[in-house]
Amino acid sequence: MKIMTEEAFDVVVVGSCMTDLVSQAPRLPKAGETIHGHRFFIGFGGKGANQCIQAARMGVKTTMICKVGKDFFGDNYIQNFKDNDVHTEFVRQTSEAATGAASITVNDAGENAIVIVAGANMLLGKDELQEVLPAIRRAKVLVCQLEINSQTSFQALQMARENKVKTIFNPAPAIPDLDSGFYKVSDVFCCNESEAELLTGSPVSNVDEAHGAAQELLQRGCGAVIITLGPQGCVVLTAKASTATHVPAPVVTPVDTTGAGDSFIGALAFYMARHPAMPLEEMAGRANRVAALSVGAAGTQTSFPFRRDLPDELF
């Protein structure tokens, strides 16, 4: 395929698209149990797409490199990107698998349980990446996760690195035996508590433990580590600093925490592209404020704030 665009993008996301099938219920069902929920809706999700859309809503030029099915959900997803001003030239459609889908249950406390069938996402490969290399080269920031083939994510991060494009890697969903090469191609390695726990093999349930985990992850070769801690915000550790900094989040009443981490990473990508010289701790503090807003509303992308919802001081 010939790449038509000569455009330079602020943020390029190589990642997943998922159609979310969301049920809201008083509590999460146990194994073998059927319970009644009070509401069902279909939403747009997938960590890659979520992060891209949060960055786009804040006002940077974004493109998504991904694969969806040649089906209703795939067509719908492409329209969703267009509606959010995300460039879609590099969104591929395949008839070999269905668009990725996620069955999500949210309880009244805002907690969630999720089953993902990655489908077409897993078919994004080397060949497609080679085709989009010109776009990757011209980007300011490239963002990857692990909801697509991990080789594809790794290759994209490597391509970005070779071309001096800043990288954010979000090792989610976490795999225990993550290839050590991922750390070395990550300018910012950003994960949540459970991912940090799985990667380090030590408990990460409070700020102190997160400080220790950040040190451990930094030693593996990334430029900086951010571990998000839900209502407690995050800890940030850069190669320059000797200790991690705890950056608290604003206090909010959670409505639905689905996608909070993606809102945080999308906002972080925005700041890295727009204000590359800003200290990472400052970017993380601002990203906390963006993500905290997303927690105060229902749904995933539906809860992500637009530029107009955010105060000027965040820009």
Active site residues: 262
Place of tokens 């907690």: 111
Residue of minimal Cβ distance to ligand ADP: 261
Strands across the sheet containing 39-45: 39-45, 18-24, 101-106, 112-117
Question: 17 in helix, strand or coil?
Answer: coil
Output 112 or 215, the one with its CB closest to ligand ADP.
112
Alpha-carbon distance values, 8 to 137, 266, 273, 287 (Å): 9, 18, 12, 24
**Is 232 assigned a ligand-binding role in the annotation?**
yes
How many Cβ atoms from other residues are within 10 Å of residue 29's Cβ? Answer: 15
* Residue environment code for 143-172, b if the CB has 16+ CB neighbours within 10 A, otherwise e: bbbbbbbbebbbbbbbbbbeeebbbbbbbb
Annotate each residue in 32-71 with x if it binds ligand ADP (CB under 6 A) or - if it does not, as one string: ----------------------------------------
Cβ count within 10 A of residue 228? 27
Report, in Å, the least distance between residue 290 CB and ligand ADP: 8
The interface mask with ligand ADP, positions 288-307, x = CB under 6 A, is x--xx--x------------
Is residue 225 near ligand ADP by the rule CB under 6 A?
no
The three-state secondary structure class of 189 is strand
Residues from 252 through 281 that contact ligand ADP (CB under 6 A): 252, 254, 257, 260-261, 264
> Which residues are annotated as part of the binding site?
18-20, 46-50, 147, 192, 228-233, 256, 258, 261-262, 288, 294, 297, 299, 303
Binding site for ligand ADP (CB under 6 A): 192, 228-231, 233-234, 249, 252, 254, 257, 260-261, 264, 288, 291-292, 295
